[in-house]
Amino acid sequence: MKKTYKVAGHKFAVIMPDNDPAWNEMHNYEPFVTADADDCIFVAEQVDAVPDDPNKEKIAICCNAPREPRIEVYKRENKWLMNVAPTFDTPVCFRFSLDERFQKVQFQIINYWNFSFNTMMKLVFAFATTYRDTLQIHSSVTMKDGKGYMFLGRSGTGKSTHSQLWIKNIEGCELMNDDNPVIRVGEDGVVRVYGSPWSGKTPCYRNLEAPIGAIVNLRQAPKNAIRRLSVVEAYASLYTSFTGMKFVKELADGYHAANVKLINSVPIYELECLPDADAAFLCYNTVSQQ
């Protein structure tokens, strides 16, 4: 069976056996199903085995914390090889083989398939769209009056909390995505944010889009204060939040080009804040005036 999905205007396809139980677990992808299967940016096909290559070159082994996913990245001639494990010290549960431009993908499910599939689909999408003015970013997004307002920051800063403060205290707000929305610079020059099948611990998989009203980097503080960032500050603030392999030059160039267009089109702020309604009102009253 082949299913095609459309996220941020980019189509990709997944091929697995018709009776594979994995289809029953892909509920977060259903809002993004499309009947238009032409011009997919990548096609991911399940295979019985993705052979390991003893001559592969290690590019990186990524794991931000012992209990977070371990992603092994290798290169062999014109192919990428990737292994994923749920934590730093657990066995590989998912294996990928990708061509150089991330268009043809083969994957093997070894164990913990749902965790692995979501992790790798998210990464492959980020890689394949790098050359298309598209960025996947760790952020919570709230919609208000037809615009998307993005809140980002380090883990535990309160991105989800701040979104909920807007929703609870400011009439007409709704959540678009709570962890991994997608930003795309359109051919018309308008920068839009899109919902995605990836939303962290909050099940918010909405096929929505909106022009970005503002991006706000959150910092916990003993008082509420907001300021607009300079171009240099904005660039650094956003770059650290993108999903992808920034250590690969070809991909880093794509992130850089899209980030430059983004910061020249969208106002970027820093909000020092408490987790209270006053912080939400201060933020909204400031950024909504742009």
Per-residue confidence (pLDDT) for residue 174, from 0 to 100: 97
Same domain, 283 and 242: yes
Same domain, 144 and 200: yes
Q: Could you say which of 88, 110, 128 is where a domain stops?
A: 128
What is the mean predicted confidence (pLDDT) over 232-241? 89
What is the mean predicted confidence (pLDDT) over 255-264? 91
Same domain, 65 and 153: no
Range of the structural domain that residue 178 is part of:
135-287
Q: What percent of the chain is modeled with pLDDT above 70?
A: 98
Tokens linked to 41: 């940016």
Per-residue confidence (pLDDT) for residue 172, from 0 to 100: 97
What is the Cα–Cα distance from 27 to 201, expressed in whole angstroms?
14
Same domain, 84 and 180: no
Strands 57-62 and 42-46: unpaired
Per-residue confidence (pLDDT) for residue 14, from 0 to 100: 96
Render pLDDT for 263-272 as a digit per residue (tens, 0 to 9).
999 999 999 9
Same domain, 68 and 143: no
pTM of the model: 0.93
Same domain, 90 and 7: yes
Same domain, 164 and 62: no
Same domain, 92 and 236: no
Question: Which of 237-241, 249-253, 274-278 has the least mean pLDDT?
Answer: 249-253
Q: Could you say which of 109, 128, 147 is where a domain stops?
A: 128
Q: Could you say which of 72, 106, 128 is where a domain stops?
A: 128
Tokens linked to 132: 């298309």
Render pLDDT for 45-95 as a digit per residue (tens, 0 to 9).
999 999 888 888 998 888 777 778 888 999 988 899 999 988 888 899 889
CATH of residue 149: 3.40.50
Render pLDDT for 125-176 as a digit per residue (tens, 0 to 9).
999 998 899 999 999 999 999 999 999 988 778 899 999 999 999 999 999 9
Same domain, 50 and 150: no
Per-residue confidence (pLDDT) for residue 13, from 0 to 100: 97
What is the mean predicted confidence (pLDDT) over 225-241? 92
Same domain, 154 and 282: yes
Same domain, 272 and 245: yes
Q: What percent of the chain is modeled with pLDDT above 90?
A: 63
Same domain, 116 and 191: no
Render pLDDT for 14-41 as a digit per residue (tens, 0 to 9).
999 998 888 888 899 999 999 998 999 9
What is the Cα–Cα distance from 37 to 267, expressed in whole angstroms?
36
Report the chain's mean pLDDT, rounded to a whole number. Answer: 91
- Could you give the number of structural domains in the chain? 2
Per-residue confidence (pLDDT) for residue 113, from 0 to 100: 66
What is the mean predicted confidence (pLDDT) over 198-221? 95
